[in-house]
Amino acid sequence: MFEQVLAEVEEQCRAERVPMLGPDKAKLLASCVENAKPTLIVECGTAIGYSGLWILRVLKNLGTGRLITVEIEAANAERARANFERAGVADLVDSRIGDAAEVLKTIQEPVDFLFLDNNKDGYYPCFRAIESRLTSPATIVADNVGRADQMADYLEHVRTNYDSETHWFESRRRPGNRRQPGNQRRPGRRDGMEVSIYRR
C-alpha cells in the first residue's frame, strides 16, 4: 500500500502542479536520512506529503526516528495527513499547521535533522528559530538553492560556518509544457540541494 500511495501522491502533484521534490532529489534526501539515522527530523514545507513519505519510508525501515512536518496551508496539511494515514506511517509523523519559523520556536526536543523546503526567504529565520535545539552534529538539507538570491543569508551562513555541499540537478520539464514539432528544446534549468553538517 505504501508504494501505491507514494505513486498516487507523485501523480497528483504532477497533475495539479503541487510543488514537490521529485524522485531524483528525494533519493538524495532519503540517503541523507539513512546515513544520519536521526531521532527527530523537522521538515518545513509539507505540501501534500510527497517528501514526507520518502522520509517516513526510511524511518520505518530503520525502525527508529520521528518526523515533525510544518505547512502553512491548512488544506495541504490535511491532504498530507490523509496520505500519511493511507500509507500506514501516521504514527511516525506529527503534522503541524502554521508559519514554520513560528512553529519551530515551539519545538522543545533535540532536533538532529532539518529539511528546509518552505518559502525560500524563510530558510534563515527557520534555521535561527530551531538552532538552539539542533544537536551537534545535525544534518540540514535545503532545497532549491539554485534560487540563491532568495536565501542569500542562509547560504552565506551555512557555507561559511559548516561543512556544506551543493548537489545539482537538472530540472525536468513539466507535463503540458511539451516541445512542439520544430521548436527548440528550452535549455534545462539547474537547481540544487545544499547538504550541511551543523556543528557548534
Applying CB under 6 A, which residues contact ligand SAM?
Answer: 19-21, 44-45, 47, 50-51, 70-73, 76, 99-100, 117-119, 122
C-beta of 118 vs 196, nearer to ligand SAM: 118
Nearest approach, Cβ of residue 61 and ligand SAM (Å) = 19
Which of 52, 40, 45, 43 has its CA nearest to residue 2?
Answer: 52
C-beta of 112 vs 117, nearer to ligand SAM: 117
3-state SS string for 32-97:
HHHHHCCCEEEEECCCCCHHHHHHHHHHHHHCCCEEEEEECCHHHHHHHHHHHHHHCCHHHEEEEE
Nearest approach, Cβ of residue 121 and ligand SAM (Å) = 9
3-state secondary structure (DSSP) of residue 1: coil
Nearest approach, Cβ of residue 31 and ligand SAM (Å) = 16
Element housing 2 (H / E): helix 2-16
Q: What is the DSSP letter of 105?
A: G
C-beta of 145 vs 185, nearer to ligand SAM: 145
Nearest approach, Cβ of residue 48 and ligand SAM (Å) = 7
Nearest approach, Cβ of residue 77 and ligand SAM (Å) = 9
C-beta of 174 vs 180, nearer to ligand SAM: 174
- C-alpha–C-alpha distance, residues 161 and 156, integer Å: 8
Please answer whether residues 46 and 19 qualify as being in contact, where contact means their C-beta atoms are separated by less than 8 angstroms. no
C-beta of 173 vs 199, nearer to ligand SAM: 173
- C-alpha–C-alpha distance, residues 92 and 85, integer Å: 10
